[in-house]
Amino acid sequence: MRYFEQYGHELIWRGGGETLSIMPWGEDSLRVRSAMMGEVRDDRFALLESGPSPDCEIELDDCAARIRNGKLTAAVEMDGWHKYARITFTNQRGEVLLRETAPANALALKSRKFEPYLGGDYMLTATFDGQDGERIYGMGQYQEEILDWKGCTLELAHRNSQASVPFYISSRGYGFLWHNPAIGSVSFGLNRTTWRAESTKQLDYWITAGDTPAEISRNYARATGFAPMMPEYGLGFWQCKLRYWNQEQLLEVAREYKRRGLKIDVIVCDFFHWPKMGDYRFDPEFFPDPAAMVRELNDMGVQLMVSIWPQVALTSENYEEMKQQGLLVRAEYGEQIGMRFVEDSMFYDATNPRARRYVWEKVKKNYFDAGVRVFWLDEAEPEYGTYEFKNYRYYLGSNQQIGNIYPQMYSCGFYEGMLEAGVENPVNLVRCAWAGSQRYGALVWSGDIMSRWEDFRRQICAGLSMGCAGIPWWTTDIGGFHGGQIDDPAFRELLVRWFQWGCYCPVMRLHGDRRPGEPVLRKDGSASLSSGGDNEVWSFGEEAYPILTKYMARREELRPYVRRLMREAHESGAPLMRAMFYEFPENEGCAELKDQYMFGSRYLVAPVLYPGERTRLVYLPDGAWRDVDTGAVYVGGETIRVDAPLERIPVFERMGE
């Protein structure tokens, strides 16, 4: 009886109605797919074309088979009792990287379990053996003060401030992409790793072997796409607040920065500058001449970024047409409402190419043609008011089955539209991402987090995890979004520390809903959405101002270096924020560090993460390290305590880099 077949470089196993496919997909990488009662599908949710596979070998036997692609080998063995195929992945040295769980004799377990929805598709569970001592890095952005996910369970779903990007780098020398946009979960248990998709048509994952984290990142970027080259305006300082509510207010802030001799690259026009959500245009009462506004900003060397929401209010001038044309997400039951904020709305369906085209054409006419070249793609998860994932359906399928791809498609629509309109390297700020988002110019920020020290600490881990998950462009709201009282000394300290750290983030952007706020009235006396308090560098007192301007100036000094890092991300997939283990994978002292990191390969950054802290411990790996503020040189290989007065955070330059 023949269980295994070979078609070119594809290995096929069939048994019990299941078809299992393993084939090369990029250098040192394999793609694994499995379907029940049918052939496997070639869904390209994140993966690009694989290219040729010159270094591939397949060997077949009656009850076993082996496929090798460069450094990665998959051995498929038949279980004699259950007639079930089990896969073991090894590297070029024969070391086990990952192995599917065994049937375990009388337990009759299945490592690829398809549970049917009668008359529909499947709930899928895929399980792998736990690997003793393994560390798991990546997986996107979760609001946890955790860097190593071993022993943790994660929801595979997006929420405001949570971005599920299901790719990780293992300390055992492999990278793994769960190539499935279904709502689900993953548990990295000590005994086994379990992936679950609520609804799917097949199992689909991609695995790569690499001798270093950098090699794994490169293979992943080749498989899913590289970030574009960051434009020059992405290298400096971005000014933002909730919200500049009229044209003159926004321009006056930019003018004041210029008067003070402070360089800003981008200023942001936040949400509700429109008449109604989904109108995709400026409200002429508050922004009477957008083209003139953009021209004046450009003359000052400043780009305007404009907020776009995917919500379309039921009162929008575009709602009825979009509803009639089937361009909106649809609720399975009840009212056709996705969110209630200011007024009822439904999200446009970014998985529908006609909907992406419709929205981009509105945006091009009303923003792009007025000179706007940078967009803020907010609400990108999308942020359903109740997160009832089962209750929504898209062009591509049910939310349960494909919902996690939404932010990637949201970025894609703008990226492709901007390329067509002549923008060479589009970059758009977006509140969520999925695998492959990086190739669509997605600069992800960490969402509407609180202005608290614990949230600050979580952002360090979030940024490092996003980098490991293949999203090199990442940032936060400096100072946090919710709850910052601008006259509160405690908040001012937090903002200063956050700002100092922001200087060493991929993009440096000041934003937040500061208190006290400002009411906004229309000419007829009716209320418009209020504005937050002042959020410029001169808004936080005489002690803070020279510190903030010092780090604005330092960011300018770093511009050539940041440009180099952006080039590395574009060409190799390397993150700008790098966990210590990423740069020093052989150093066990770096494996668990989550409160310091490398900004590229040159600078070790140790943010001050607790109120009142004026010294902190820093681990310096082997080599010589120079304190960039004091000039003191230290010999690495040990933990030191360094001074951290309010006016500076510890940053060390790696000598000889």
The string of pLDDT tens digits covering residues 206-240 is 999 999 999 999 999 999 999 999 999 999 999 99
- Our CA angle for 477, 481, 482, nearest 5°, is 165
Above 90 in pLDDT, residue 398? yes
pLDDT for the residue numbered 109: 86
- Which has more pLDDT, 88 or 53? 88
Give residue-wise pLDDT tens across range 607-627.
999 999 999 999 999 999 999
Residue 150 in contact with residue 138, Cβ under 8 Å? no
Give the model confidence (pLDDT) of 324-351 as tens digits. 999 999 999 999 999 999 999 999 999 9
Mean pLDDT (whole number) for 399-426: 98
Please determine, for residue 65, whether its predicted confidence score (pLDDT) is greater than 90.
yes
Q: pTM for this one?
A: 0.97
Instruction: Give 270's pLDDT tier (boundaries 50, 70, 90).
Output: very high
Q: Is the peptide bond before 275 cis (omega within 30 degrees of 0)?
A: no
Homologous superfamily (CATH) for 4-224: glycosyl hydrolase (family 31) (2.60.40.1760)
Contact by Cβ (8 Å): 480, 457 = no
List the chain domain ranges: 4-224, 232-309+352-380+404-575, 578-654
The pLDDT of residue 82 is 66
In the chain, the percentage of residues whose pLDDT exceeds 90 is 94
**Mean pLDDT value across the chain:** 97
pLDDT of residue 255: 98
Beta-carbon contacts of 573 under 8 Å, excluding residues fewer than 6 positions away, are 217, 218, 220, 221, 222, 226, 227, 470, 472
Using an 8 Å Cβ cutoff, are 538 and 261 in contact? no
Q: Which of 97-106, 170-179, 255-264, 401-410 shows the lowest per-residue confidence on average (mean pLDDT)? A: 97-106
CA distances from 586 to 214, 378, 591 (A): 13, 39, 9
* Cβ contact 535:509 at 8 Å: no
Question: Which residues does the annotation mark as catalytic?
Answer: 378, 381, 448
Would you call the peptide bond into 243 cis, given omega within 30 degrees of 0 as the criterion?
yes
Q: Give Cβ neighbours of residue 262 (< 8 Å, ≥ 6 apart).
A: 537, 549, 552
Of 118-127, 230-239, 265-274, 321-330, least confident by mean pLDDT is 118-127
Q: What share of the chain is helix, strand, coil (3-state, %, to 5)?
A: 25, 35, 45
Round to whole Å and give the CA distance between 625 and 583: 15
The fold adopted by the segment(s) 232-309+352-380+404-575 is: TIM Barrel (3.20.20)
What is the SS3 string spanning 259-306? HCCCCCCEEEECCCCCCCCCCCCCCCCCCCCHHHHHHHHHHCCCEEEE
329 DSSP 8-state letter:
-
Copy the structure tokens of residue 46: 């994140």
Mean pLDDT of 421-436: 97
Question: What per-residue confidence (pLDDT) applies to 51?
Answer: 83
What is the pLDDT confidence band of residue 1, given thresholds at 50, 70 and 90? confident
Residue 498 has what pLDDT?
98
Cα atoms found within 13 Å of the Cα of residue 622, Cβ hemisphere only: 5
Q: What angle do CA 385, 386, 389 make, to 5 degrees?
A: 110
Average pLDDT over residues 117-146: 95
pLDDT at residue 424, rounded to an integer: 95
CA gap 45, 361 in Å, rounded: 24
Tell me the DSSP string of 588-625. GGGTT--S-EEETTTEEE----STT--EEEEEE-SSEE
Burial of 448 (0-12, 13-18, 19+ CB in 10 A): middle
* 81: pLDDT strictly greater than 80: no
CA 171/CA 188 separation, integer angstroms:
13
Mean pLDDT of 542-563: 98
Distance from chain centroid for Cα 231: 19
Question: Could you read off the pLDDT of 471-521 as tens digits, one per residue?
Answer: 999 999 999 999 999 999 999 999 999 999 999 999 999 999 999 999 999
Tokens standing for 650?
Answer: 């510890």
Tokens of 464: 């490092």
Structure tokens at 607: 């943010």
**DSSP reduced 3-state for 98:** strand
Interval 345-392: pLDDT, tens: 999 999 999 999 999 999 999 999 999 999 999 999 999 999 999 999
Q: Does domain 578-654 have CATH number 2.60.40.1180?
A: yes
Alpha helices in 132-229 (DSSP H): 213-224
- Are the folds of 232-309+352-380+404-575 and 578-654 the same? no
Strand pairing report for 4-7 and 136-141: unpaired
Confidence of residue 537 (pLDDT cuts 50, 70, 90): very high
Specify whether the CB–CB gap between 146 and 118 falls below 8 A. Answer: no
Q: Which helix (H) or strand (E) holds 489?
A: helix 489-502
Residues 6+ apart with CB under 8 A from 258: 300
134-156 pLDDT, tens digit per residue, is 999 999 999 999 999 999 999 99
β-pair type (237-239, 266-269): parallel
Taking alpha carbons only, the member of 66, 135, 120, 78 closest to residue 102 is: 78
3-class DSSP state of 17: coil
Q: How many whole angstroms separate alpha carbon 74 and alpha carbon 99? A: 9
